[in-house]
Amino acid sequence: MANGMTTPKLIQTGRRQLMLFSGRCNAELAEEVGQHLGIKCGAVDLVDFASGEVYVRFRESVRGTDSFVFQGHAAPINERIMEQALMIDALKRASAKRISAVVPFYGYARGDKKGRSREPISARLVADILKVAGADRIITMDLHSGQIQGFFDGPVDHLTALPPLARYIRDNHQGDLIVVSPDAGRVKWAEKFAARLNAPLAILHKRRTTKERNVVQVREVVGDVRGKHCVMIDDMIDTAGTIVQGAEALVQAGAARITVGATHPVFSDPAIDRLKNSVIDEIIVTNTLPIPPEKRLDKIVVLSIADILADAIRAVFEDESVSDLFAGENQL
């Protein structure tokens, strides 16, 4: 299976050249990013052998280039991480000057610490894989926790989808808004979102069981949500258990309307069934991960973050500040 059929034009700074390549997870988003940059994704052969191994070969010279390898870590997540690592390794062995791993959604981000004995720190391992493969830096968006930036031995450019999410709410929803953090861990992020909307903040208190994965219990609402339009904001929606339980708790507390905003639409089963039958009125996500047609509910709105990624890639290539693009709001 090949990705891209045309030789890309090159962005050049002096003798340096920028090239953009995509794995098979985010090809559509990568092409949109390329349009913002005025280039096309480079041609690369990506073939699965019968054994499940992946064959990678770039079709043009990458010697001396600044190469950006685009891949979200979506299901099948282990295959996508390995595919990106192989692409990076191939670029390193083909004498690319600098290699950046562009990871709109960073896999294993919730494995950022040892919660119990004899557990791995999975997010650190993913960083090690990309580093050993040959990545000089990582460009990613809305990490689950800030310490992941320290797992990679090199620069990590942390982007955020807060601006487009807040802009959509501001342009499409009026009335008595209140921003809701789904748990104590996302309060800082929710505060930034609330500041953009000039809205108050409420918090959901929840408890996650250590015996079962993806099982939570929302216990109480901290804040007055009666009669208000609640905007619950999170970094990702996986199985949607937290979001749906949180929405039910808000309705029981007297909320008039529920909107959910999240950067990453992971949507693992049974997320779509839960969301379809939930009290949530609207779900706003971005295209950091592809959403297959069978998971596109009428209540789901997808915003593009291609311009944000393109601006960051251009800033990295031109050795300019990435944090200036967000006025510091990309810090966790």
Query: According to DSSP H, which parts of the chain are helical?
Result: 27-37, 77-93, 122-133, 162-172, 187-197, 241-252, 271-276, 306-317
Query: Residue type for 307, please?
Result: D
Average of per-residue pLDDT values in the chain:
91
pLDDT at 28: 96
* Cα 311 from chain centroid (whole Å): 16
pLDDT at 94 over 70: yes
Between vectors from CA 259 to CA 266 and to CA 206, what angle results, nearest 5°?
Answer: 70
For 162-303, CATH gives 3.40.50.2020
Secondary structure (3-state) at 236: strand
Nearest residue to 302 (alpha-carbon basis) of 20, 29, 11, 6: 29
Architecture of the domain spanning 2-160+307-326: 3-Layer(aba) Sandwich (3.40)
Q: Where residue 4 falls among pLDDT bands split at 50, 70, 90?
A: very low
The confidence score (pLDDT) of residue 6 equals 44
The pLDDT of residue 213 is above 80: no
Which amino acid is it at 57? R
User: For residue 329, what pLDDT band results from cuts at 50, 70 and 90?
Assistant: low
Q: Which of 206, 228, 295, 299 is catalytic?
A: 206
Q: Which two tokens stand for residue 186?
A: 């996302």
With bands split at pLDDT 50, 70 and 90, how would you rate the model's confidence at 2?
very low
Overall average pLDDT of the 77-90 stretch = 98
Using pLDDT thresholds of 50, 70 and 90, give the confidence band for residue 185: confident
Domain spans, the chain: 2-160+307-326, 162-303
**Is the pLDDT confidence value at 143 over 70?**
yes
Q: Which token pair is 154?
A: 């090199």
Span 248-262, pLDDT tens digits: 999 999 999 999 999
Task: For residue 103, give the nearest of 78, 139, 128 by alpha carbon.
Answer: 139
Identify the burial level of 35 via C-beta atoms within 10 angstroms of its C-beta, where 0-12 means exposed, 13-18 middle and 19 or more buried.
middle
Mean pLDDT of the region 71-81: 96
DSSP calls for 185-225: GGHHHHHHHHHHHT--EEEEEEEE-SSSTT-EEEEEEES--
Q: Active site includes 188?
A: no
Section 23-40 average pLDDT: 96
| 87 φ/ψ angles, rounded to the nearest 5 degrees | -65, -40
Q: Which of 11-15, 184-188, 241-245, 298-302 has the lowest mean pLDDT?
A: 11-15
Question: For 60, which DSSP code?
Answer: S
Question: Residue-wise over 108-142: b if at least 16 C-beta within 10 A, else e?
Answer: bbbbbeeeeeeeebebbebbebbbebbbbbbbbbb
Can 2-160+307-326 and 162-303 be said to share one CATH topology?
yes
Residue that wins the pLDDT comparison between 325 and 278: 278
Residues 295 and 243: their CA atoms lie apart, in Å, by 17
